[in-house]
Amino acid sequence: MRSPKVVDGLGLGFVAVIVLWLAVNFFKDPTYFLNVGLDGLTRGTVYGVVALGYTLVYGILQLINFAHGDVFALSGLVASTMMLTVLSIDTGSSNAAVAGAVVVTLLVTVPLFAVLNGSIERVAYRPLRNAPRVAPLITAVGMSFIVQNVSLALYGVDYESGSELIPQGVAFNIGDVRFTWKLVIALAIIVPALAVLTWFVETTRQGKAMRAVAQDTEASAMMGINVNRTISTTFFIAGSLAAVAGLVFFLEFQVRYDTGFELGLIAFTAAVLGGIGNLPGAVLGALLIGFIQSYNEGLLWYAPGGDWTRSIVFGILIAVLVFRPEGLLGERTPEGA
Amino acid sequence: MSSVSERARGFATGPRDKWIAPAVIVLGLLYPWYVEALQALPLIGDFIPSTESMVVMVAFTMMALGLNIVVGYAGLLDLGYVAFYAVGAYTAGWFASQQFDQVTFSFLSSVPDDQPGIHITMWLVLLVAGFLTLFAGILIGLPTLRLRGDYLAIVTLGFGEIVPQVVRNGDNFFGFDLTHGTFGIAPIDAAGFPVLASFTSLPKNFQTSPNRAMWFYLGAFALLLITVFCTVRLRDSRLGRAWIAIREDETAAAAMGVPLMRTKTWSYAIGAFFGGVAGAYYASFRGGAFPADFYFQFSVFLLCMVILGGMGSVWGVIAGAMILGYLDREGLATIGSKIQDAGLEFDPTKYQFGIYGIIIVAMMLIRPAGLIPERRHRIELEEGVHDTPFYDVQLEGTLTDRDRTDD
Amino acid sequence: MPEDDLVVATKVRKEFGGLVATDDVDFTIPRGAIVSLIGPNGAGKTTFFNQLTGVYKPTSGSILFDGTEVSYLPPHTITKLGIGRTFQNIRLFQQMSAMENVLVGMNCRLHSGILGAIFRFPKVKREEEEAREKARELLVYCGLPRRHHERSGSLPHGDQRRLEVARALATEPKLLLLDEPTAGMNPQETAEFTAFVSKVRDEKGVTVLLIEHDMKVVMGVSERITVLEYGAKIAEGTPAEIRADERVIEAYLGHGVGQG
């Protein structure tokens, strides 16, 4: 239903309240505001990588891959094994050793989870291509539980965290605004990954094929594009992204078998907020959600607090889907959002 | 397997099939009387569920049938059914406990009249719970049901998360304690027959009766029968046909005059109603409404029952629900102890959701129509459906335009 | 005569992003007439149909049906007002029987609700029985005397097309839209169907709008033909006029489509 003017007005009013709230907090303590914001940036970059995985798959298959978040969590756990057990990195290791371990870990986890993700598609989703739309969706939910329980079986209920391995505290300051090591490291790992992704999607043949299939599967097939292979490639890439995000999350926060659920929802909301199927949109949406989460938990003037984060994120999701399903950067296409 | 599905094609395909339903009803009704005999049997005796467990299994079956209306009939993937369970349970908490001890109000209650709080007879509370949940369903449906299948799923999931979160933090609604926060509301009055008790041998209060489990079970069974009756009647009605038309081809259904939003909302509301009744009854049995009972995975647990049994198939959903309910209550633990007796260190209860995930994936890949398929659905899932398929492979003349008004 | 026009579509325009699918089309359908809409593939015929039935909302323009503006109404409301349709690529409810398909068509003409469903009051039972009787008659009328309770997806192709018409007629339409109803039919079935279209109009008082590629059908049954190309109307007139129209011949030759 075309939202009547009243509803549009309500939506705008709501946004105005948020902006006002942010502004008041900013003026009360600008440096604190910015620091909290940078914290949001740190989270937002990780969310962005996971969100890209969701949006890539959704763009090409119109499927919400519920299992993606859990693949991400598992990759974080495997990264912990690589770093802590296999490579024996501990708090005493030098920064160079840690950096080297990160590279080696990525060299292992990225291909591993690319293949795992691709296998999930091959085994669980591909056979259901001609089934009614609910079928692969239901299967994805089941798959999510399976992956989660694999993590549970392998790692139990313990949290794994590498935050003691990386340099603590502040890397540098601009005025009183603190740029933490966490932020620097996150950007150092993620920005190159995004650059590679962008290069791949924009310039390579497979990347172009992905965009073509996302736009029009039938036409792409008729033009000789191997749709199956393109879909597999998409899942490989999404798996790789999950592995990168998993490692960063392990280093900066903590991972557990069920981390994927919450993070998956956050990341998917980010993808929808930015415009599902739209790659820059996913990153933008993720950054926004990162900020929102940090401001919600960190600001002092009338902030609802961490308990309400999940509800707020869902509230955003519902609001976007109802009022602006194409997201911030998406287009109103005949196919819908 | 094929003879079961052939026999179950529709409720009765031949004269001898007409006795299946009555036989099952009688067997089910008499369960408390022969359960101990069954449990004494060698080998399988350990696997026979207790009457207590059966109460829960039956309550879950009611919920699964409610979900079946949404998922199985109308084809809407609802991942947030736990919200309805919660609303039902807390309604019982509001109208049959000491939660609102600011007043003292009693109506045909099974507990003494002088207890503080609102204490209305559970049978009436069930009805209230059903309707409150129905309205909650309509409310949730308003923004949700206009969305496409995958978005619908995620948004229902969202509500399935928000409601428990509200409930957990509901001890301070502007100073008013609505849900008693993480402690939940307890004790909740048990069901009973306070009026009839004075001149029959029916118990005044199930909880204090020597045959507590039996009475709760019989009550649950009666509710289940009502649910099945309503479900079947709905399926074979104008509304039921409209739901199935929507499930098969929403666009064609609209073109045939079926109002989409309204019809979908009905399925959601009625599904919610049964979830609320079941939730309230279960809370009465459990003696409380606790936030820890409400979590996302429960919705998927219910979905697994529907998938296992057969989407849209009443017998199937009952079978799937009883099987999974049993596993949840006793089965996995029993199997676990058998495994440990054999020397292996494996605890299936820890991985129960992984098991349900495997069931879901396996069923979708191997036998999507379920154990006891609905006559229609088996073909739909195995041969593919006409509505916008997984890949939009249509050319000119496609009706995939979302840019349209609705209701 | 404007008062006799069942449908008055004015400057109907439909754009999909940059693509103009319907280009300011004016279109009227006189009450009780049988008119056809033809044009090469991609001309926008079904797109126009979809705007008539509310599946697409026109980007601009107005569509009056029996005096009511319908361009912004949802599909089910338009059906209730009296437009029934079939689909180009048969969209039956495949798993439902023929009887059930027709009963769904009657959905907006029946009244029982949830309470009626559960309690089956006498009034409701009567309504259901009458509906089934009507559905049976309709099925027979449309050439389907048997197999009412079989899964409709397993019916032969020609029967499925007939069933789609029966289902559309069950909505008690004033205007019947038929989207390439004879596609996939053999010549004998096609001839039968052509006669059937006239019969329906004559006996049921239904106005008919036909999209067709089969020129024999078009020329044989239409009282007026409208030709679309690239979403715009390029010609309109009697079969004789259209057959001789330069632009029409050009459009079809240029696209290499069209039979008969």
Helix (H) / strand (E) element for C29: namely strand C19-30
CA C140, chain centre distance (Å): 19
Domain assignment present for C126:
yes
**Could C16 and A331 be called an inter-chain contact, meaning their C-beta atoms sit closer than 8 Å?**
no
Q: In chain A, whose CA is at the least distance from the CA of C17?
A: A333
Does B404 lie at the interface with C, CB-CB under 8 angstroms? yes
CATH number, domain of C236, equals 3.40.50.300
* Domain contains C88: no
In tens digits, chain A (337 residues) has pLDDT values of 444 556 566 667 777 777 787 787 777 778 788 888 888 888 899 999 999 999 999 988 888 999 999 999 999 999 999 888 888 877 777 878 888 888 999 999 999 999 999 999 999 999 998 887 788 999 999 999 999 999 999 999 989 888 878 777 777 777 777 788 888 888 888 888 888 888 888 888 888 888 888 888 878 888 888 888 999 999 999 999 999 999 999 988 889 998 998 888 889 999 998 888 888 888 989 998 888 888 888 776 666 766 677 778 888 888 888 788 888 887 654 433 3
Q: How far is CA A17 from the centre of its chain?
A: 27
C148 and C218 belong to one structural domain: no
Residue C9: domain span? 1-82+173-260
Question: Do C120 and C148 fall within a single domain?
Answer: yes
Cβ pair A142:B358 closer than 8 A:
yes
Residues C150 and C163 in one domain: yes
Q: Which residue of A has its CA nearest to B75?
A: A134
Q: How many CB pairs under 8 A join A and C?
A: 5
- What distance in Å separates residue A296's CA from the closest CA in chain B? 16
Does the domain at A44-323 match CATH 1.20.1270? Answer given as no
Task: Tell me if C230 is assigned to some domain.
Answer: yes
Q: Which residues of B204-215 are buried (b: 16+ CB within 10 A; e: fewer)?
A: bbbbebeebbbb
Measure the CA–CA gap between B388 and B96, rounded to whole angstroms: 48
Quick one: angle between helices A279-298 and A181-203, nearest 10? Answer: 160
Question: Considering only CA atoms, which of A52, A42, A41, A66 is closest in space to residue A283?
Answer: A52
Given an 8 Å threshold on Cβ–Cβ distance, is A335 in contact with B357? no
Residue B405, in any domain of the structure: no
pTM of this prediction exceeds 0.90: no
Structure tokens at A263: 């993070």
Q: What per-residue confidence (pLDDT) applies to B380? A: 56
Tell me whether residues C16 and A334 touch, CB distance under 8 A: yes
- Measured in angstroms, the CA of B153 and the nearest CA of chain A are apart by 9
B401: in domain = no
C154 with C31, same domain: the answer is no
Of the candidates C170, C200, C235, which is a domain's last residue?
Answer: C170
B397 occurs within a structural domain: no
C256 touches chain A (CB under 8 A): no
Please spell the DSSP secondary structure of B49-106, one letter per residue: PPHHHHHHHHHHHHHHHHHIIIIIIS----S-THHHHHHHHHHHHHHBBSTTTTSEEE
Contact A45, A190 (CB under 8 A): yes
Q: What CATH code is carried by the domain that includes residue B369?
A: 1.10.3470
Could you tell me how many CB contacts below 8 A there are between chain B and chain C? 148
Among C137, C170, C203, residue at a domain's last position: C170
Q: How many domains does chain B have?
A: 1
Rounded to a whole number of angstroms, the distance from the CA of A214 to the nearest CA of chain B is 10
C110 with C145, same domain? Answer: yes
Contacts of B364 in chain A (CB under 8 A): 124, 128, 131, 135, 138-139, 142
Say if C121 is an interface residue toward chain A (CB within 8 Å): no
What is the C-alpha to C-alpha distance for residues B110 and B95, in angstroms, rounded to an integer? 12
Chain B partners (3+ C-beta pairs within 8 A): A, C
Same domain (yes/no): C253, C203 = yes
Structural domain boundaries of chain A?
Answer: 44-323
Domain with B234 in it:
2-383
pLDDT of residue B36: 87
Handedness of CA A253, A259, A264, A270 (dihedral sign): negative
Number of domains making up chain C: 2
Q: Is A224 on the interface with B (CB under 8 A)?
A: no
Q: Which of C46, C90, C167 minimises the CB distance to B396?
A: C46
Average pLDDT for consecutive 10-residue bins of chain B (407 residues)?
Answer: 38 61 90 88 87 94 97 93 95 88 81 82 93 94 85 88 84 76 85 81 83 91 96 94 93 94 95 96 92 92 95 94 95 90 86 94 92 71 50 32 35
Query: Which of C71, C114, C155, C213 would best serve as a mutation to test chain B binding (most B beta carbons within 10 A)?
Result: C114
C149 lies in some domain: yes
Residues C127 and C188 in one domain: no
Q: Which residues of chain B have a CB within 8 Å of the CB of C91?
A: 249, 251-252, 255, 386
B360/A135 Cβ within 8 A: no
Amino acid at C77: T
Residue showing tokens 């089969």: C214
Question: Chain B contact for A336, CB < 8 A?
Answer: yes
In A, which residues are within 8 Å of B387 by CB distance?
Answer: 132-133
Contact A131 B384 (CB under 8 A): yes
Q: Using an 8 Å Cβ cutoff, are C204 and C31 in contact?
A: no
Is residue B89 a contact partner of residue B282, using CB atoms and an 8 Å limit? yes
Spatial CA neighbour of B400 closest among B388, B384, B386, B385? B388
ipTM of the complex: 0.90
Looking at the structure, tell me whether residues C60 and C179 fall in a common domain: yes
Pairing assessment for the beta strands C83-85 and C34-38 based on DSSP bridges: unpaired
